[in-house]
Structure 1
Amino acid sequence: MAETKKYAGGCHCGRFTFEVNTDLDTAISCNCSICTKRGLVLTMVGPEQFALTKGTLGEMTKYQFNKKVVDHLFCPDCGVEAFGTGQAPNGQTMFAINVRCLEGVDVTTLKPRPVDGRKY
């Protein structure tokens, strides 16, 4: 059975913070060009599971590539991508949370599922 927990997270400098409810057993490791270069381990959640607690999306730097369906959002001060947002294949808004930006999580204990993002 999935174990959903509430986690706090944020960028390196603290300008942007958030809370997320997620099950880290669903973490993924994507092999697309940006996830590979940035070393991202992600968990995907819907908007009802995500709350930005400090800062606003409009203050973040946005980067898009390829089909431009994902907004990779970066803190303009420290450059960390704590999360991004986009559309799931079914059209629903999703948040891609950088698990490495969650407080108290040891990423080395996770077994992220590989995702072939290069084919998208």
Structure 2
Amino acid sequence: MSTKTYKGSCHCGKISYQVEMDASQGSGRCNCSYCSRTRYWGTIVKPEAFKLLSGKGEFSDYQFNTMTGHHYFCKTCGVATHGEGYLEVLGGAYVSVNLATVEGIEKSEFINGPIRYADGLNNNWMNEPQEKRHL
């Protein structure tokens, strides 16, 4: 395991964060109505591995369906930087980081890692959807 510290931000820079993660552990894509519409490609970390550097009060919180996940996006530029929630199947409390907002990361770091697909559309989170080519 090779944990590295990365910084990330929204497009306008009002929201910035720092995250410690191991890119080789992989990332995830989901077919739920939110992730499929935003083309969200994320990775899950524990809350202690994520630190908001700037932007408290600059993001909006969007929730839907079971209201267990918080999807944060910048009020100014609209970019979704991260989200958080609590799900036992994910090991409890988590932060999901939008990989498109991580600065300075080599795309190969995530491309070479495993991609886990979740069937969130059917609340079948631990299993892959039948169709995933669009994700």
TM over 0.5: yes
Letter in 2 for 1:112: I
Q: Which residue of 1 aligns with 2:31?
A: 31
Q: Does residue 80 of structure 1 match 2:79? A: yes
In structure 2, C-alpha distance between the alignment counterparts of 1:105 and 1:117, rounded to whole Å: 27
1:88–1:107 distance in 2 versus 1, CA, 3 Å:
farther
In structure 2, C-alpha distance between the alignment counterparts of 1:93 and 1:60, rounded to whole Å: 20
Q: Which residue of 1 aligns with 2:118?
A: 115
Q: Any gaps of 5 or more consecutive residues in structure 2?
A: 124-135
Structure 2 contact 5–18 (Cα < 8 Å) conserved? yes
Give the number of aligned pairs. Answer: 118
Runs ≥4 residues deviating over 6 A:
none
The Cα of 1:106 is off from its aligned counterpart by 4.4
Instruction: State the secondary structure of the residue aligned to 2:103.
Output: coil
Q: Which residue of 2 aligns with 1:98?
A: 98
In structure 2, C-alpha distance between the alignment counterparts of 1:86 and 1:101, rounded to whole Å: 19
Q: Any gaps of 5 or more consecutive residues in structure 1?
A: none
Letter in 1 for 2:11: H
The Cα of 1:80 is off from its aligned counterpart by 0.5
Please report the TM-score for the alignment, with normalisation by the length of structure 1. Answer: 0.88
Question: What is the aligned-residue RMSD (CA, Å)?
Answer: 1.7
Q: Which residue of 2 aligns with 1:6?
A: 5
In structure 2, C-alpha distance between the alignment counterparts of 1:11 and 1:100, rounded to whole Å: 9
Please report the TM-score for the alignment, with normalisation by the length of structure 2. Answer: 0.79
Q: Which residue of 2 aligns with 1:50?
A: 50
Structure 1 contact 99–107 (Cα < 8 Å) conserved? no
Structure with bigger gyration radius:
2
